[in-house]
Structure 1
Amino acid sequence: MKFIIKTQKGYEGIAANYLKEEVEDIKVHITPHGYSGIVIVESEDDITDKALKIPEIERVLKVLFEVPADLEKIVSLADKIAEHINEGESFAVETKRRGKHNFSSVDVNIVLGAKIKDLTNAEVNLDYPDKVVYVEIIKDIAYICIGERKEWRKYESNKKNARELFKKVTIVQMPYWGELKVCRKFGEQIGRAAQAFEVKELIIAPKGKIDAYELLEFLKGVQIGQKSRYLVQKEAYPWEVKKVPVSVHELYQVVRDKRRNNRLLIVTDPKGNTLNQVKDKLKKDLKFAKEVIIFIGSREGIPRGIFRFADYVIDLAPYMTFATEHGIPGALIGLWTIYDEENDDNENNDENNENSGNEETTK
C-alpha cells in the first residue's frame, strides 16, 4: 500500500530518514517530480501511527485508489469512493493538483463531489465534514485518499470570530517621533498591526505641535505597513477584506469627540489596574459598548488629564513597559481574551439553566 506524507518544505528528507528508523522494509520517494513537501511511501503495513510520532510529518494520507490524472478516470472511481461514506455523514472533496492538466482542481471538486452525493445521498459540508475525499494529483497520477475531518482548522464553527469585537474598536495611537528612518519603521509596524486586527479605525493622534516631516515619515510607514498586511489578507482569507480607515486628529480633541453615550474609553498605562482586577465589569461593558476607543502612547504615555475621562485605565503587563509596536496587539489580544471569556460564561449559564429545567421536568 502507498501513503502520501506531507511535511514543511525542506523537511522531506529529514522526515523520510526518521520514518526509515521507525518502520522496516519501506520504499520512500522524496519530493516526487520535484514537488516539495511530499514524500510517497510504499509499505506492506499501515505506517500511520508510527509516522505521526515524527514531528516533521504533518499529515499521513493512506492511498486507496490510484488512477491516471484524467478527470473522467478520477470521476469513474466515485462508486468505490462512495462505499466509504455513509448516508448520514457529510463529506467534502479537496483536490491538490500539481502539474499541467486540461482541468482544474475546482472541476474535480465539483464533478466528483456531485457524483458522490448522488450515490450516497450524503450531505456536502465544506466547512466541517465528517469525511474528506483527498484527491492528490502529482503530475500524471491521481491518488485518492479518504480521511476523517481535520484535527486542526483555522475556521471552526465552534470558534467565535474575533471581528465581533475588533470591528467596533478604534485605536487612538500617538505617533512616534525622532529620527526619520525610525519614524517610518515604527509607522510600518503600527499600520501592519492595525490592519492585521481589522479594527474599525486607526486615529493617529499627536499631542499638540509635532515636526511635520517626522509625522510625514511616520504616516508613510503606516501606509506601507497597512498595505503589506492587506495584500496578505486578500490572499489568505476566503472573505472580502477592507482596509482600515486611517485619520489624523489632535489627541485632546479625540477625547472630546469620542466622549459620547455608549462609547467605552480605555487608556493603556502602567499606572492603571490590571486586566484581572477589572475583568468582571469590563466583560459586560465590552459586549454592550457601541464603540471601544483605546488610547495607546508612544515614547511617552497618554497624558494624565485624559485619565479622568476614561472608563478604564489598564496596565497590560504589570512592572513592564510595552514597546510602541506592541501596544496594539497587546491591548487587543488582552481584551479579546476577556470578551471571549464573557461569551463562554453566558453559554455555560444557559446550559446550566437548561439542564436545571430538564431535571425539574423529569422530577
Structure 2
Amino acid sequence: MKFIVKTQRGMESVAANYIREALPDAEVWASPMGYYGLVIVETEDENAGKEILEIPEVERVIPVLVEVPAELERIVETAERIAPLIGENETFAVKTKRRGKHDFSSLDVNRNLGAKIQELTNADVNLSWPDKVVQVEIIGDRAYVSVVPGEEFRKFTPDKIDARKLFHKLTIVQMPYWGDYKACRSFGEKIGRAAQAFEVKELIIAPKEKMDAFELMEFIRGVKVGQESRYQIQREAYPWKVEKVPVSVWDLYQVIRDKRRGKRLLIITDPKGPTLAEVKDKLARDMFYAKEVVVFVGSREGIPRGLFRFADYVVDLAPYMTFATEHGIPGALVSLWEVYEEYLREREKQTEEESGQ
C-alpha cells in the first residue's frame, strides 16, 4: 500500500528519515521527481499511516486507493472504484493537486471525475464542507487517488462566526508615528498592513497637532506599502472579493467632533480606563447595536486625556502593560472581537432556547 505524505517545504527529507526508522521495511521516496514537501511511502502494513502521523514533521498522510497514469481519461475511470466509498446521503468534493506538465488542468479533473462519481452515487457535491473528499495527487506521470474525510482543521466552517460582521463597521483612528523618516515609514507599513488585514471600514490617520509634513509623508507612504502587500496576499488566499481599506487624513479633534453624532460608538484604548473584563458585557451589546464603531489608537503618546470625556468607553486592554505602536490595532481588534463573539454566541443560545419553548 502507498501513502502520500505531506510536510512543510524543506522538511521532507527529515520526515523521510524518521519514517524509515519507524517503518524499516517500507520503501520511502523523499521529494519524488524533485517536488518539495512530499514523501511517498510504500509498505505492506495497512496501518502504517498511524505510525507516520506520530512524526511531528508530517502534516498529512493520504492513503492511496488507486494509482494510474496521469491521463485524464484514466483518472476519470477510477470513479468505478471510488464510488462505493461515498454514500448516496453523503456530500463530496474532488480536489486535485497537479505537479508537472499535462494536457489537462486540475479543474478538468475536478469537473470530469466529480461528474462521473455523482452519476454513479447520486451524492451531492459540496465544495465548502463535504463529508468526503476525493483527493487526486498528480506527481509527474502518475496520479494517486484517495478518499478522505472532510478536513479536520478548516479555515471557514458553519460554526465559526464571521469576524467581518464587526470589522466591516469598525473605523480605526490612528495617530501617526513621527521622528526619523525610516522609522516613520517602517511603522506606517505595519499599521497599513494591520488595518488591511482586519478589513476595517476605514483607517483615519489623525495627527493631534501640527507636525512635520515630510515625516507624515513617509508614514503615509509606509501605510500604502503595507496595505498593498497585505491586499495582494488576501486576493490570493480568500474565496471572496477583498476591497482595499479606505485611508484618509483628519485632525484628531475634528474626528471626535464629527464621530460624536449619530449611532456611533467611540472607544479609546488607554491604561487609565477600566479593564475590558469590567465592561465587556455592556460594551459588546453596544457594539452590536452601533451603526459604526470608532476605535482610537495612540502612537508614541496616548490619545489626549481631554478626549476621554467624549468617548463612550475608555478601555485598558492589558493592565500594567503598554502596547507598542505597531501592536495597537491588532491588540485592540482581537480583544474587541473576543467579547463581541461571546455576546453573539450568547444571543444565539437565547434565541434557540426561546424558539424551543
User: TM-score higher than 0.5 here?
Assistant: yes
Q: Which residue of 2 aligns with 1:44?
A: 44
Residues 1:27 and 2:27 are matched in the alignment: yes
Aligned residues: 356
Provide, for residues 323-351 of structure 1, a one-character-per-residue CA deviation record: whole Å limited to 9, x for no partner: 00000000000000011101111222234
Q: Which residue of 1 aligns with 2:253?
A: 252
The structural deviation recorded for 1:161 is 0.9
Separation in structure 1 between the aligned mates of residue 169 and residue 335 of structure 2, nearest angstrom: 16
Separation in structure 2 between the aligned mates of residue 95 and residue 35 of structure 1, nearest angstrom: 16
Separation in structure 1 between the aligned mates of residue 253 and residue 66 of structure 2, nearest angstrom: 68
Provide, for residues 180-199 of structure 1, a one-character-per-residue CA deviation record: whole Å limited to 9, x for no partner: 11111111111010001010
Match runs of 1:1-363 below 5 Å: 1-46=1-46, 47-354=48-355, 357=357
Separation in structure 2 between the aligned mates of residue 64 and residue 180 of structure 1, nearest angstrom: 60
Separation in structure 2 between the aligned mates of residue 283 and residue 268 of structure 1, nearest angstrom: 15
- Counterpart residue type for residue 172 of structure 1: V
Separation in structure 1 between the aligned mates of residue 175 and residue 282 of structure 2, nearest angstrom: 27
- Counterpart residue type for residue 339 of structure 1: Y
Contact 2:19 2:28 in 1 (8 A): no
Q: Which residue of 2 aligns with 1:361?
A: none
- Counterpart residue type for residue 252 of structure 1: Y
Separation in structure 2 between the aligned mates of residue 353 and residue 207 of structure 1, nearest angstrom: 49
Separation in structure 2 between the aligned mates of residue 268 and residue 25 of structure 1, nearest angstrom: 61
Percent sequence identity over aligned pairs: 64
* TM score, norm. by length of structure 1: 0.97
The structural deviation recorded for 1:354 is 4.7
The structural deviation recorded for 1:286 is 1.0
- Counterpart residue type for residue 66 of structure 1: E
- Counterpart residue type for residue 6 of structure 1: K
Separation in structure 2 between the aligned mates of residue 212 and residue 54 of structure 1, nearest angstrom: 56
Stretches of 4+ moved more than 4 A in 1? none
User: What is the SS of the residue equivalent to 1:159?
Assistant: coil
The structural deviation recorded for 1:113 is 0.4
- Counterpart residue type for residue 72 of structure 2: L
User: What is the SS of the residue equivalent to 1:272?
Assistant: coil
The structural deviation recorded for 1:262 is 1.1
5+ residue gaps in structure 2?
none
The structural deviation recorded for 1:66 is 0.6
**CA RMSD for the aligned pairs?**
0.9
- Counterpart residue type for residue 26 of structure 2: I
Separation in structure 2 between the aligned mates of residue 298 and residue 247 of structure 1, nearest angstrom: 17
Separation in structure 1 between the aligned mates of residue 352 and residue 162 of structure 2, nearest angstrom: 21
- Counterpart residue type for residue 19 of structure 2: L
The structural deviation recorded for 1:153 is 0.8
Separation in structure 2 between the aligned mates of residue 257 and residue 292 of structure 1, nearest angstrom: 13
Provide, for residues 106-155 of structure 1, a one-character-per-residue CA deviation record: whole Å limited to 9, x for no partner: 00001110111111000100111111000000000000011011101111
The structural deviation recorded for 1:352 is 3.5
Separation in structure 2 between the aligned mates of residue 229 and residue 149 of structure 1, nearest angstrom: 29
Provide, for residues 299-320 of structure 1, a one-character-per-residue CA deviation record: whole Å limited to 9, x for no partner: 1111111101100001111101
The structural deviation recorded for 1:158 is 1.3
The structural deviation recorded for 1:19 is 1.6
